[in-house]
């Protein structure tokens, strides 16, 4: 079992002042020319966004505020619209066929040309590579499930959407993560968004990591509970927040002291934009010390971290009993869809009558449930092969190899060892687009992330490493990335000019 290592914050704030200055300058230039072009367009009517700019509303507000988000889309996103939402026409395996796009409709919209390009996939969450050899690993069982259950349940779990395959999956999940019971949802996002409101209400306090995923943020907001944040992955700061919360209670200053009905600490196993592994041991110790409940979102860590793939608990040496609620998704390592909540029997029984995801939303497709079930069997070696074990080792080796090489190259790399997510800082918004295009030219499909998903100076490329990548694939990718970093001046740890 790997012990949790000391957490080295390696945030985007480490960048030099020079980079920060040029990044902000870049944005200022974009904004300036954006507004200039908007003004010109409004005055002369000569703009590809004519309809948007000249729209007349007499009594009502426009559907989209032309100065707010719409400006961002018009003048910033459109300049790099070819870098996001690239459709593919193959399995999301190690190699994918990216559909080529061209700007159509006077530059407002992208259209596919019908051509495809074979690229190395460094973007999908295909951690254990089930997308690659699906036919030999899962195909047979999944096809059988389609015959038995049909493609979808068309009914909520609470009505008649629960099928025997769902119950079977719930048992397997519970066993795998080491909890007495579990329940499965149709969508990972909804698992967070609809479970948090069921367990926290007005009077409860949710203490959330600053960088938690939107599904958690929205779940917290929808709950009506008070939400506080602590500094990303800092157990010390969590302790400060918790102490303050308990001492001050939930009354306003000067009112009678009323304690919080319950305090729930919400963290993620691996942070998807940072690739950082949660410092769970320290966080759980704080939570236990102050009698807080813990909610761990294992979306990216289940089936990827830990020797046997059991996620952050195994990785950080925390016993599952120490965590109150374990949440995870099936999209990533398991090649399916949906999510689960695992916890005590009382909790799961309670959720079955209190979570909108179980009472109102249509249940997980039985075909997907079977896929996930099969993936669990393989990971646990119950299929009689060592495929699962080999892949768990491969993803770790691949990720660590890739991360080390990028660091050696002099790139500013975020995240911790063993994490299959390897983000690399680009900082400038222009470099975000340029990196994505340069990579695509070299047959690499990469995910680039810019504001507003990350801070304005936090532009980055996020590599997702898969067990299906061969060493040869990775070597080739690193060679090409090395070329790009030279062209774009991205070796930030070598020089402040990159």
Region 349-368 residues binding other proteins, contact defined as CB under 8 A: 349-357, 359-362, 365, 367-368
Q: Is residue 273 a contact residue for other proteins (CB under 8 A)?
A: no
User: φ, ψ for residue 391 (rounded to 5)?
Assistant: -70, -40
Least Cβ distance, residue 35 to other proteins (angstroms)? 20
CB 492, CB 461: distance < 8 Å: no
Residue 67 lies near other proteins (rule: CB under 8 A)? no
* Dist CA 90 CA 403 (whole Å): 27
Residue 302 near other proteins by CB under 8 A? no
Tokens representing residue 360 in the block? 């109102």
Judged by CB under 8 A, the chain residues 127 through 166 that form the site for other proteins are 130-131, 134-135, 138-139, 142-143, 146-160, 162-164
The first and second tokens of residue 199, run together, are 């367990």
Binding mask of the shown chain, residues 402 to 441, with x at each position contacting other proteins by CB under 8 A: ----------------------------------------
Nearer to other proteins, 16 or 222 (CB): 222
Return the residue of 47, 53, 174, 188 that touches other proteins, per CB under 8 A. 188
Q: Tell which one of 346, 382, 441, 483 touches other proteins (CB under 8 A).
A: 346
Angle subtended at Cα 182 by Cα 180 and Cα 186, rounded to the nearest 5 degrees: 175
What angle, rounded to 10 degrees, do the helices at 387-409 and 471-488 form? 20
Q: Indicate whether 41 belongs to the interface with other proteins (CB under 8 A).
A: no
CB of 377 to other proteins, least distance (A): 14
**Which span sits near other proteins by CB under 8 A: 257-265, 390-398, 412-420, 486-494?**
257-265
Residue found under tokens 């320290």:
282
**Closer to other proteins at the Cβ: 3 or 85?**
85
Which residue from 264, 254, 316 is spatially nearest to 290, judged by alpha carbons? 264
- Measure the CA–CA gap between 268 and 316, rounded to whole angstroms: 13
Binding status of residue 255 toward other proteins by CB under 8 A? no
**Tokens linked to 171:** 């048992």
Which of the 8 DSSP states describes residue 413?
Answer: B
Which stretches of 105-152 are assigned E, i.e. beta strand? 109-121
Cβ distance to other proteins smaller for residue 45 or 69: 69
286 binds other proteins (CB under 8 A): no
CB 102 within 8 A of CB 303: no
Exactly one of 2, 15, 218, 308 binds other proteins (CB under 8 A); which one?
A: 218
CB-nearer residue toward other proteins: 234 or 468:
468
Q: Are 297 and 212 in contact (CB under 8 A)?
A: yes
- Quote the tokens at residue 407: 């660091």
Kindly state the number of chain residues that form the binding site for other proteins, as judged by CB under 8 A. 131
Of 14-22, 38-46, 52-60, 482-490, the window that binds other proteins (rule: CB under 8 A) is 52-60
**Does 199 sit near other proteins (CB under 8 A)?**
yes
The residue count for the chain: 498
C-alpha closest to that of 109 among 69, 144, 138, 73: 73
């Amino acid at each position: 079992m790997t012990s949790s290592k000391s957490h080295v914050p390696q945030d985007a704030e480490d960048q030099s002042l020079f980079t920060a200055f040029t990044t902000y300058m870049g944005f200022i230039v974009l904004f300036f020319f954006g507004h200039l072009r908007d003004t010109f367009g409004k005055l002369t009517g000569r703009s590809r966004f004519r309809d948007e700019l000249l729209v007349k509303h007499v009594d009502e507000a426009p559907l989209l505020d032309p100065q707010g988000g719409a400006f961002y889309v018009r003048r910033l996103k459109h300049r790099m619209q070819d870098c996001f939402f690239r459709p593919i026409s193959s399995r999301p395996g190690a190699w994918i066929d990216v559909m080529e796009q061209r700007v159509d409709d006077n530059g407002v919209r992208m259209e596919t040309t019908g051509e495809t390009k074979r690229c190395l996939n460094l973007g999908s969450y295909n951690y254990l590579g089930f997308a690659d050899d699906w036919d030999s690993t899962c195909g047979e069982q999944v096809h059988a499930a389609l015959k038995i259950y049909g493609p979808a349940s068309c009914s909520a779990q609470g009505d008649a959407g629960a099928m025997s395959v769902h119950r079977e999956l719930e048992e397997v999940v519970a066993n795998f993560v080491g909890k007495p019971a579990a329940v499965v949802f149709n969508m990972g996002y909804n698992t967070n968004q609809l479970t948090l409101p069921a367990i926290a209400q007005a009077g409860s306090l949710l203490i959330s990591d600053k960088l938690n995923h939107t599904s958690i943020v929205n779940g917290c907001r929808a709950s009506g509970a008070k939400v506080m944040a602590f500094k990303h992955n800092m157990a010390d700061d969590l302790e400060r927040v918790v102490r303050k919360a308990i001492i001050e209670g939930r009354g306003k200053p000067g009112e009678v002291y009323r304690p919080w009905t319950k305090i729930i600490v919400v963290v993620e196993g691996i942070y998807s934009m940072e690739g950082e592994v949660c410092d769970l041991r320290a966080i759980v110790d704080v939570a236990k010390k102050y009698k807080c409940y813990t909610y761990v979102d294992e979306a990216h860590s289940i089936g990827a971290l830990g020797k046997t793939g059991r996620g952050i608990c195994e990785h950080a040496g925390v016993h599952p009993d120490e965590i109150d609620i374990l949440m995870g998704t099936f999209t990533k390592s398991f090649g399916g869809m949906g999510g689960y909540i695992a916890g005590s029997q009382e909790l799961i029984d309670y959720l079955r009558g209190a979570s909108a995801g179980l009472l109102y939303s249509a249940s997980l497709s039985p075909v997907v449930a079977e896929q996930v079930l099969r993936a669990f069997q393989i990971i646990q070696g119950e299929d009689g092969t060592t495929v699962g074990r080999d892949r768990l080792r491969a993803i770790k080796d691949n990720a660590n190899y890739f991360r080390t090489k990028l660091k050696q190259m002099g790139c500013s790399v975020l995240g911790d060892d063993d994490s299959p997510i390897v983000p690399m800082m680009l900082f400038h918004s222009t470099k975000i687009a340029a990196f994505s295009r340069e990579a695509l030219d070299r047959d690499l499909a990469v995910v680039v992330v810019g504001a507003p998903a990350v801070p304005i100076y936090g532009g980055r490329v996020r590599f997702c490493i898969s067990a299906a990548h061969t060493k040869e694939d990775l070597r080739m990718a690193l060679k090409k990335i090395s070329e790009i970093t030279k062209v774009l001046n991205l070796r930030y740890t070598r020089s402040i000019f990159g």
